[in-house]
Every structure is written in C-alpha cells, then in structure tokens.
Homo-oligomer: A and B are copies of this chain.
Amino acid sequence: MEQGQGGRIPPDHPRFRSLVVRERLARCAAEGVVSLEGLTAHGRGEAFDYLLGEKTTASALEAEKAAAALLLAAGRPVISVNGNTAALCAKQVARLQEACRARVEVNLFHRTPERMEKVTCLLERQGATVERGEAERLLPLSHDRGLCLRQGIYAADVVLVPLEDGDRCQALRDMGKTVIAIDINPLSRTARAASLTIVDELTRALPHITRFCRELGMDEAAALARSYDNRAFLRGALEEMKERLSHALD
C-alpha cells in the first residue's frame, strides 16, 4: 500500500496548500481513520470549494449563524462525526461541543469496530466527549448506515451532520428531526434534504458556528431558529458558483 508521500509535494506548486491537506487525509487513510472512499469524497468537496472561491460566502455565514441558533435552542442536540470530519477538525468539533453542549456521536458509512475506536480516540484526544455504547439499527436504512445510539442520534431533536450521506440525511428528516448539514455541494441530496444547509468548507464552517454559539443570546437564538430561509441560503451558494463560472474566461 502506498502511503502519503510525506514532504514530497514541491513547495513551489501553485496548489501547495490543497495538496498538503490531501496528503494529511491520505495519512489518516493509511492509519484507518479515513476510508479510501472518504478521500474521493474530499475531492468532490475541493471542487465545489474551488467554485465558491475557497471562502465563506455571505449567505453561508448567515446559515452558520442560524445553525448556532438551532443548536442553542435545541433540547437535545447531537453532532454526528464521520472519519473525514475527525481527520480534518477533531479539535473544532470539541470546541463546538463545549459551546453548544451537544452530544458527539461517531457515525461511519464504512463502519468497523476498529475504525469506530480510532475515530473516537482521535476526537477524545482533542478534548471531545464522545458517546459510547451499543449501536442499534434505529434508522430505516439498509447497511450499517442505519446504526446509531439510542441515547444519541436516535433521541436527538437537532442533529448536525457535517459531510453526510444524502440517504441518511433524508432518513433523519423522516424521523422528524431538524437536520443541519454542512455540505459544500449545494446540489447534493444532503443539501436538499436538510432543514438547514451550510454550503461552506468544513474547517471554515465549524469555527464560525462555535463563535455564534458564544455570541447569540437565547432569545435571539430562539427567534432565528424559527425564521431562517434555507432556500435563500442555497440560492446564495448557487449564484456565487454561477458568478465564478461566468468570469472563468475573462
């Protein structure tokens, strides 16, 4: 098995930063935290981020504020974490957990006990408190994607799903939950199925949500949680991408 080519990216390469992040994910794949399919998923995200100009748009920032409001106003918020999320921002997950007092549950598409343990340990090392217990097949989905914890995602009223599978996002919605997705692809099934969609890159989005959790008062949060317009957020992202495509040949 070929490993990430540590230190072999030429610093003069115009996409140096992007290549270094890829290399980090490759290393996490070699360690078993990230699945090989997760590397491909990351690439899809890179492409959409490129179309966004690799920055948080005004509408995404609004969505991040609404996400903080939903988390603060929730009775039982849960942050669902997969391998890529843990590899890219375990520490930011821990900080957000602290700011909004959510539970953190590990949920993997390619689930093995070993990977569950590795991802859990990575989060814990960065300061997160992670739910543990016997997962049950509580979501109406084939495959291990249907597994979750009774006291975690199953009992949640608001679930934050960074980098989620569209099928699973829909299943959570069908169960009546408020689902906040962080998905840089505004066309994805996840983006369309979620109650609130943050079209932004994960490592930019989480610190913003955390900051808003600290800044928002409870009354303001409750009001915003009732009044946000998700369609406007999606439209904002699509317009930004179209704009970029329009000027590509300038």
A5 contacts which chain B residues (CB < 8 A)?
A: 35, 37, 110
**Residue in B19, B30, B47 whose CB lies within 8 Å of A185:** B47
CA distance A45 to B39 in the complex (A): 13
Whether the Cβ atoms of A10 and B40 lie closer than 8 Å is no
Known A32-B1, A36-B29, A238-B248; contact A14-B166, beta-carbon cutoff 8 A: yes
A242 engages B246 (CB within 8 Å): yes
Interface residues on A, range: 35 or more
A58 to B167 Cα, complex, angstroms: 32
Q: Tell me which of A20-28, A91-99, A200-208 binds B.
A: A20-28
Quick one: which of B14, B32, B115, B231 contacts A167, CB cutoff 8 A?
Answer: B14
Copies of this chain, whole number: 2
Set of chain B residues within 8 Å of A51, measured between Cβ atoms: 187
The residues of B that contact A227 with a CB separation of less than 8 Å are none
CA distance in complex: A235, B247 (Å): 10
Indicate whether A55 reaches chain B with its CB closer than 8 angstroms: no
Distance to closest chain B CB from A13 (angstroms): 6
Cα of A182 to Cα of B152 in the assembled complex, Å: 46
* Residues of B close to A19: CB separation below 8 A: 37
B46 touches A110 (CB 8 A): no
Q: Which residues of B contact A167 (CB under 8 A)?
A: 13-14
A127, CB-defined interface residue at 8 Å: no
Tell me if A234 counts as interface (CB < 8 A to partner B): yes
Q: Which single residue of chain B is at the shortest CB-CB distance from A184?
A: B47
CB pair A248–B186 under 8 Å, yes or no, is: yes
A13 partner residues in chain B, CB cutoff 8 A: 143, 167
Across the interface, A242 reaches (CB within 8 A) one of B15, B37, B189, B242, namely B242
Report how far A131 CA is from B166 CA in the complex, Å. Answer: 45
Enumerate chain A interface residues (CB-CB to B < 8 A).
Answer: 1-5, 8-10, 12-15, 19, 22-23, 25-26, 29-30, 32, 35-37, 39-48, 50-51, 110, 112, 115, 142-143, 145, 166-167, 185-187, 189, 231, 234-235, 238, 241-242, 244-246, 248-249
